[in-house]
Amino acid sequence: MNSWILLPVFIPAISGIFLLLASFREHLGKMEEGEDENRRLHLFVGVILIVSAVLALYAAWSGEKSLTLFYLTEKLPVYFHIDEISRIFITVTSIVWIAVGAYSFVYLKHEGDEKRFFGFFLLVYGVLAALQFSGNLVTMYFFYELMTLTSAPLVLHSGTKEAIMAALKYLLYSLCGAYMALFGIFILYQNCDTLTFTAGGVLNPALASGHRGLLLAAVFLMLVGFGAKAGMLPLHSWLPVAHPAAPASASAVLSGIMVKGGVLAAIRTVYYIVGPDFIRGTWVQTAWMIMTLVTVFMGSMLAYREPVFKKRLAYSTVSQISYILFGLSLLNPVGFTGALLHTVFHAFTKTALFLTAGIFIFETGKTRVSDYKGIGKRMPKTLWCYTFASLALIGIPPASGFVSKWYLAQGALDGNVGAFGILGPAVLLVSALLTAGYLLPVTMNGFFPGDGKTAERKEPSLWMLVPLAVLAALTILPGILPNPLIESFTRLASGLM
């Protein structure tokens, strides 16, 4: 039944609200949780996550489904529809959410207020499921905004001044970007027969013929606005502020999944509403490619120069998400395939890197890269997981990042995009070298500090290590066996062009 679509939305959302109310009551009563209470909380969260993920995957992979919830106006329904893009995003989101949830059972002892964190954690998963199942532009925009509002408390979880200011900056940038996108939606509504996502676009040629300049401006504003969530220049600076202030669990899902909300919105706008042909060869495509490449280089350079580990990874996210946006801006099947591949691979890779950062901070209390010399002698398994994820992000074969970056470079070379056919691969290569420069020193100094000391081994709890190891494996295995993903994404890309 089509109502299956609502279960992975409402079950985690209602469960999250229940935990938030319970947390509020406990604060009023000044109660403290004991070990038994924590175990019951972890069991409850674990069951809800697994049930929600199973329902989401069942709804996604058991065939295309549509459901109209209600109508805002006669022409604007709140409408859900599951297609190939929905399946990709919900599958990756579910894997990451379960891994980070299990990791957080131990990590949050370091942060406190577990019920409040898990309440918002479950609530955001439900909102993401609704966002990824959205069947038209207005429904997507509604849940896109809701994702921002429900995820901000994850950033300010610690309650410090730094965390509060970081959350405010996150809200400000995200909402400014969303309002830019909203203006574009108003313009598109006047020039489309429907705002339902349709492969190839839904612009009405008769309505759009006299407003081409205005429509191009509207699309550009939407790309810039949605790019704020994806960390694209010029609305990128919230990322390096929010990540160091947030708990590692929040940083992991922010960087691995939630920034992909901007990617999803860009895909839906360009490939399912206006159509790639409408902006191909225009100033919008040129400006989009320029912004993505500048962001790729700038993010890599800032990460290379950054001494604080989590902030370094945040700048890395700024760079890596624009790899994806660059592939989308090429407007050809190969570039689109590379963008989808990098969306999947980056989610697992960056989540693994932030979970590693959380383990280092949890075990040592230190935050700077220079503080981790010799840490591989204490936590060799953890550092090996970090190393595998780093190799994937750099793009060293056979790790997964090599495959996605190969398709991105090939899409630029074969894409009939003029100078960007050479400039794009050149920037990606320079960025890869910088990525090696800011990730591999942690491995080198961790395993080979050169002081001859033997440290006592102290790996983290299995609740933290096993999710990290699973994600590290997922950064390598798709690079060794990439064909199923490549074939699936290539078929999808061909159908959109």
Looking at residue 256, its pLDDT comes to: 92
Q: Evaluate whether residue 377 is within a structural domain.
A: yes
Show the tokens assigned to 476: 């390598």
Residue 219 is predicted with a pLDDT of 95
Residue 49 counted as domain residue: no
Residue 322 domain-assigned?
Answer: yes
Q: What is the pLDDT of residue 200?
A: 87
Structure tokens belonging to residue 1: 């039944």
* CA–CA gap between residue 56 and residue 13 (Å, rounded): 13
Total residues found in the chain within this entry? 497
289 located within any domain: yes
Q: Which two tokens stand for residue 205?
A: 């040629």
Q: Which two tokens stand for residue 454?
A: 């033997």
What contacts 24+ positions apart, CB below 8 Å, involve 32-36?
33/114, 33/115
Give the CB-side neighbour count of residue 36, counting CA atoms within 13 A: 0
Provide the pLDDT for residue 65. 81
The verdict on residue 466 lying in a domain is: yes
Structure tokens at 65: 């489904």
High-pLDDT (> 70) share of the chain, %: 95
| Token representation of residue 171 | 């809200």
Residues 150, 173: Cα–Cα separation, whole Å: 15
Burial (CB count <10 Å: 0-12, 13-18, 19+), residue 225: buried
Domain that holds residue 469: 280-497
Strand partners, 192: 203
pLDDT of residue 88: 95
Question: Whose CA is closest to 181, among 76, 257, 261, 241?
Answer: 261
Q: Is residue 449 part of a domain?
A: yes
pLDDT reported for residue 323: 96
Structural domain contains residue 357 = yes
Residue 87's pLDDT is 95
Predicted local confidence at residue 22, as pLDDT: 80
The ranges of the chain with pLDDT < 50 are 452
| The predicted structure's pLDDT at residue 453 | 56
For residues 296 and 408, the answer to whether their CB atoms sit within 8 Å is no
What total number of domains does the chain contain?
Answer: 1
Whether 393 is in a domain gets the answer: yes
